[in-house]
Amino acid sequence: MSVDIAPPITAPTLTSNPLRTGLRIERSPAPCAMVIFGASGDLAKRKLLPALWALNEAQQLPPGFSIVGIARSELNHEQFRQQLRDSITHDLTVDPTMLDTFLQGLFYVPGTFDQPDMYQRLKQVLEQIDRERGTAGNRMYYLATPPSFFPVIMEQLGQAGLVSDAATGAGWTRVVIEKPFGRDLATARELNRVVHGVFDEAQVYRIDHYLGKETVQNILHFRFANAIWEPIWNRRYVDHVQITVAEDLGVETRGGYYEEAGIVRDMLENHMLQLLTLTAMEPPVSFDADAVRDEKVKVLRGMRPFDLQRVQSDVVRGQYGAGWIGGKAVPAYRQEQKVAPDSQTATYVAATFYIDTWRWEGVPFYLRSGKRLPKRVTEIAIQFRPVPQLLFGPTDPNVLAMRIQPDEGISLQFEAKVPGPTARHRPVAMDFRYGTAFATAPAEAYQRLLLDVMLGDSTLFARRDEVEAAWTLVAPILNTWAATQATDLPNYEAGTWGPEAADQLLEASGRRWRRP
Ligand SMILES: NC(=O)c1ccc[n+]([C@@H]2O[C@H](COP(=O)([O-])OP(=O)(O)OC[C@H]3O[C@@H](n4cnc5c(N)ncnc54)[C@H](OP(=O)(O)O)[C@@H]3O)[C@@H](O)[C@H]2O)c1
């Protein structure tokens, strides 16, 4: 809440409950087994297994930690281990003894997800792991599969007796569900219904890997571990907020997936709304999972709904045509593999959001995301109101820019006097860079998130009501776009900052997009 009058200075309060203090000093999970459904897939190979190996190298995994891979290929345990060994040993710094010990904890169960018999074989392997490696019935199921398999896997896990609850005292069971969680409000609700037929909400971890990024978590630390920002973090001082998630890549080999998804499902509904809620939320009463998520849900509920008229006036859709990026000619979206030649799929979106709350009434939040923009950059920029009087002539606005990736850091732009006998000034910046300040590269997002699941900490995962509120918000955009043909696609050249209509969205109120 904003305060204009300085309160008396008092010592900060720390309570004895570590959750209330937000301290997570000792993070050592109990021994457990992780089952990866879709162990031969792109996500498992590129993200999950490397993150687990990195956790192992950092000695953050519990003793006896075991991985069971599941996919259709007929592999045995040893062949599965060899695949991972081959993907790791090109790194000459790897300690061979450590790798051997880690690989002994890898197991593989071949089968298809709808086969009850496969779950019985999985059960036997898990029981053997419990006996031999001391995992005590603690299980984490990771659904790294195409989303169409999420329901059948959960139902089969339930029917096979592979889900324990706290009452049975047979160890914990947790399930991690990859994005996309549904493809609209109805399918998200249906998926939640299936999930809750088998698991309690406390056992469910809906992952959005953006929340595993250090720079995203730092939004909360920046806001709530410093005293100077909160008094100005509101409609009285903030003119508007811009959130940009730009990619220079096109759809690469994922044209089939993207035709179904498009930019709203791929970026806006999840990653971008996460950035927005963390930026706009009220201070939580503690740093525990539900307290933080309660505040995020309140932001989503406070957001002005879109109707047909608002989708037409406040939302811009775009699709890239051919162009140039980094000196190379690149094809139009409609020429990409597995993309229809007359595709209506949006690869760019820009939209104005309003949060109708005491703190943010009247402050526009401009969000934009696109593929084949000039560079890869994610940032949140808070632009402050102008000074009330121009004593020294026109000024540039103060802007606080949180750079999520790359070049992670935060900069504050302000006006400074140009040296010399005149009263001229120009914008300069105070700049914080992670790399320089902490001299260490941030860990991969999946490392943090996998560890949190093992620890039973769901703060950085989406709750049921949060996912449904996000779909409710974007549903009118998806529905309106599905019902109306865009006749101007493609409407931006690859390598540019998006369609002209996106510039007009801000120009109407005398503002303009940043060029990060
Ligand atoms: N890849 C990414 O960067 C990324 C990023 C964010 C989210 N995600 C999400 O993560 C999930 C997995 O994506 P992905 O890219 O890794 O998919 P993928 O490469 O297509 O992998 C799918 C996995 O499922 C297995 N599989 C498919 N049908 C099966 C069946 N009927 N029975 C048993 N196994 C089956 C495949 O194994 P076999 O073919 O060997 O059977 C493979 O291991 C998706 O929900 C995706 O949206 C992915």
Dihedral of CA 333/335/339/344: which sign?
Answer: positive
Residue 71 CB less than 6 A away from ligand 1: yes
State the distance from the centre of ligand 1 to the C-alpha of 350, rounded, in angstroms. Answer: 30
Per-residue pLDDT at 308: 94
Report the interhelical angle of 214-224 vs 273-280 (nearest 10°): 20
Instruction: Tell me the best of 35, 40, 43, 249 to mutate to test the pocket of ligand 1, counting ligand atoms within 8 Å of each CB and taking the most.
Output: 43
CA distance 174 to 164: 9
Dihedral of CA 264/41/214/92: which sign?
Answer: negative
Per-residue pLDDT at 62: 95
State the distance from the centre of ligand 1 to the C-alpha of 348, rounded, in angstroms. Answer: 25
State the distance from the centre of ligand 1 to the C-alpha of 144, rounded, in angstroms. Answer: 5
Sheet of strand 238-246: strand arrangement? 315-318, 348-353, 365-370, 238-246, 377-384, 399-405, 409-417, 425-433
Residue 147 CB less than 6 A away from ligand 1: yes
With cut-offs at 50, 70 and 90, classify the pLDDT of residue 228: very high
Taking residues 356-373, what's their average pLDDT?
A: 98
With cut-offs at 50, 70 and 90, classify the pLDDT of residue 383: very high
| Cα distances (angstroms) measured from residue 386 to each of 393, 417, 507 | 12, 17, 17
Residue 145 CB less than 6 A away from ligand 1: yes
Per-residue pLDDT at 217: 93
State the distance from the centre of ligand 1 to the C-alpha of 41, rounded, in angstroms. Answer: 5
pLDDT digits (tens, 9 = 90+) for 107-151: 999 999 999 999 999 999 999 999 999 999 999 999 999 999 999
Return the residue whose CA atom lies nearest to atom 39 of ligand 1: 72
The one catalytic residue in 77, 240, 271, 425 is: 271
Residue 460 corresponds to which tokens in the numbers above?
């950085």
Question: Is pLDDT at 24 greater than 50 in this prediction?
Answer: no
State the distance from the centre of ligand 1 to the C-alpha of 35, rounded, in angstroms. Answer: 14
Minimal CA–CA distance to 173: which of 285, 310, 286, 32? 32
Per-residue pLDDT at 159: 94
Residue 38 CB less than 6 A away from ligand 1: yes
Taking residues 21-44, what's their average pLDDT?
A: 81
What's the start-to-end Cα distance of the chain, in Å? 30
| Residues β-bridged to residue 174 | 140
With cut-offs at 50, 70 and 90, classify the pLDDT of residue 272: very high
Return the residue whose CA atom lies nearest to atom 24 of ligand 1: 38
Q: Which residues contact 26 (CB under 8 A, 6 or more apart)?
A: none
Per-residue pLDDT at 88: 81
| Cα distances (angstroms) measured from residue 122 to each of 101, 116, 144, 437 | 22, 10, 16, 46
Greater confidence (19 vs 427) lies with 427
Question: Is pLDDT at 20 greater than 60 in this prediction?
Answer: no
pLDDT digits (tens, 9 = 90+) for 474-502: 999 999 999 999 999 999 999 999 999 99
Q: What is the dihedral of CA 124, 129, 132, 138, to 10 degrees?
A: -120
Question: Is pLDDT at 26 greater than 80 in this prediction?
Answer: no
Question: Is pLDDT at 23 greater than 50 in this prediction?
Answer: no
Residue 42 CB less than 6 A away from ligand 1: yes
CA distance 244 to 404: 10
The closest-lying atom of ligand 1 relative to the alpha carbon of residue 143 is 11
Question: Is pLDDT at 295 greater than 60 in this prediction?
Answer: yes
CA distance 433 to 512: 26
Helix (H/G/I), strand (E/B), else coil: 465: helix
Residue 89 CB less than 6 A away from ligand 1: no
CA distance 332 to 349: 17
Q: Which residues contact 126 (CB under 8 A, 6 or more apart)?
A: 33, 35, 68, 135, 139, 162
CA distance 221 to 24: 13
H or E element at residue 159: helix 150-159
Per-residue pLDDT at 10: 59
Instruction: Tell me the average pLDDT of the chain.
Output: 92
Question: Is pLDDT at 103 greater than 80 in this prediction?
Answer: yes
State the distance from the centre of ligand 1 to the C-alpha of 379, rounded, in angstroms. Answer: 29
Instruction: Tell me the best of 35, 37, 42 to mutate to test the pocket of ligand 1, counting ligand atoms within 8 Å of each CB and taking the most.
Output: 42
pLDDT digits (tens, 9 = 90+) for 327-347: 999 999 999 999 999 999 999
With cut-offs at 50, 70 and 90, classify the pLDDT of residue 13: low
Per-residue pLDDT at 11: 60
Per-residue pLDDT at 4: 45
Which domains are assigned to the chain? 27-178 (3.40.50.720), 211-444+464-507 (3.30.360.10)
Per-residue pLDDT at 423: 87
State the distance from the centre of ligand 1 to the C-alpha of 491, rounded, in angstroms. Answer: 32
Residue 32 CB less than 6 A away from ligand 1: no
Question: Is 221 tagged catalytic?
Answer: no
State the distance from the centre of ligand 1 to the C-alpha of 42, rounded, in angstroms. Answer: 6
Instruction: Please report, as a single letter, which amino acid is at residue 19.
Output: L
Cβ atoms of 322 and 494 within 8 Å: the answer is yes
The closest-lying atom of ligand 1 relative to the alpha carbon of residue 43 is 16
With cut-offs at 50, 70 and 90, classify the pLDDT of residue 101: very high
Taking residues 292-313, what's their average pLDDT?
A: 96
Residue 41 CB less than 6 A away from ligand 1: yes
Return the residue whose CA atom lies nearest to atom 6 of ligand 1: 179
Taking residues 208-228, what's their average pLDDT?
A: 94
Percent of the chain with pLDDT over 90: 85
Residue 40 CB less than 6 A away from ligand 1: yes
